[in-house]
Amino acid sequence: MKANFQTKLKRVSRTGLFNFWRNGTVSLASVLIMMVTLVVIGFILFGSAILNTSLTELRSKVDINVTFIPNAQESDILHIKKSLESLPEVSLVTYVSREQSLEAFKQRHADDQSILAALGELNDNPLGAVLNVKAKDPSQYGSVADYLQGQNILSANNLTIVDHINYYQNKTAIDKLIKIINTAHTLGFAITLAFIALSLLVSFNTVRLTIYMSKEEIGVMRLVGASTTYIQGPFVVVGVIYGLVAGLLTLILFLPITYWLGQTTQNFFIGLNLFSYYLVHFPQIFIIIVGSGVLLGAVSSFLAIRRYLRV
């Protein structure tokens, strides 16, 4: 029984490969149409990479600064830093000393001599230390701010040591960022589903053309008593070959495209070089593109021949 199955599998594969070469013009057209589909899928992958890189960069620029009064003790500030680091929402807390704050202030106002002159007339550093708090997700900054406001951790000897917390000044920008991130993910998912449905429809109709050209052959196979599975097999094999060839050609096509776009994306999309991304992630992209092509070809062929056989 096993030998019989292997024999049928070889016949089906051989017939499918023969039909692929025999219908050269239709096969070429089918491969090109499927390539368009796979190119779209590839650009969705690249667009997703650019979007995720941009969103990650935006996330990294959002934080909460807790500014302390100039005479706050470093030990008290470090105690608060430790308590913040214990929060599950917090990814990083950076301590900026008074001296570092003063140096950063001077660099920001290096071109404003009046401010620097006024600062030089002071006998002491007027700036306090700062804790820079980064949350794991922008939506978690609200709970971090509530923790800072609701706990009695910002005082020493019953006196507050905090000058201000800038969350509420930045709240509007943080809320907009959260909305942008959520909208981008939802839109990306919807576009991906739409293109997958469109790709399946295009592939389905392309394979139906191949099946229609072989209607006489199918009729003969039915007359001699061939099973439905045996009739379907060669067309599924042809669909798989369409997807495999289209996937490989698409990957080759992406080499010059990503090379040409690489410098442009690096300049305009926060340092992401599309060509470097393509080379580094080639194994994953190979599996997705070729796998999508093979799956689309096989499923489209299976559905098309089933519908034809029911007619």
CA distance 36 to 97: 57
Which token pair is 295?
A: 């799956």
pLDDT at residue number 5: 55
Report which of residues 304 and 16 the model is more confident about. Answer: 304
pLDDT at residue number 21: 66
Q: What is the average per-residue pLDDT within 259-273?
A: 77
Which token pair is 106?
A: 């001077």
pLDDT at residue number 284: 92
Give residue 102's pLDDT band: very low, low, confident or very high (50, 70, 90).
Answer: confident
The domains of the chain, with CATH numbers, are 2-58+177-310 (no CATH), 70-160 (3.30.70.3040)
pLDDT for 2-43, tens place per residue? 555 556 556 656 665 666 666 667 777 778 878 888 888 888
Torsion of CA 215, 221, 223, 226, to 10 degrees: -140
Q: Is the pLDDT of residue 134 over 90?
A: no
Q: Is the pLDDT of residue 298 over 70?
A: yes
**Where would I find the H helices in the chain?**
2-22, 24-61, 74-85, 98-108, 113-120, 141-150, 167-213, 215-223, 228-268, 274-280, 282-310
Average pLDDT, the chain: 77
Answer yes or no: are the C-beta atoms of 169 and 141 closer than 8 Å: no
Give residue 119's pLDDT band: very low, low, confident or very high (50, 70, 90).
Answer: low
pLDDT at residue number 207: 66
Report which of residues 118 and 96 the model is more confident about. Answer: 96
Give residue 249's pLDDT band: very low, low, confident or very high (50, 70, 90).
Answer: very high
3-state secondary structure of 310: helix
Spell 15-31 as b/e; 16+ CB within 10 A means b: bbeebbeebeebbeebb
CA distance 270 to 89: 26
Report which of residues 279 and 262 the model is more confident about. Answer: 279
Nearest by Cα to 203 from 170, 225, 248, 235: 235
CA distance 67 to 121: 23
3-state secondary structure of 163: strand
Q: What is the average per-residue pLDDT within 161-172?
A: 75
pLDDT for 187-209, tens place per residue? 777 877 777 777 667 767 766 77
pLDDT at residue number 253: 93
Q: Would you call 234 exposed, middle or buried from its count of C-beta atoms within 10 A (0-12, 13-18, 19+)?
A: buried
Residue type, 261: L
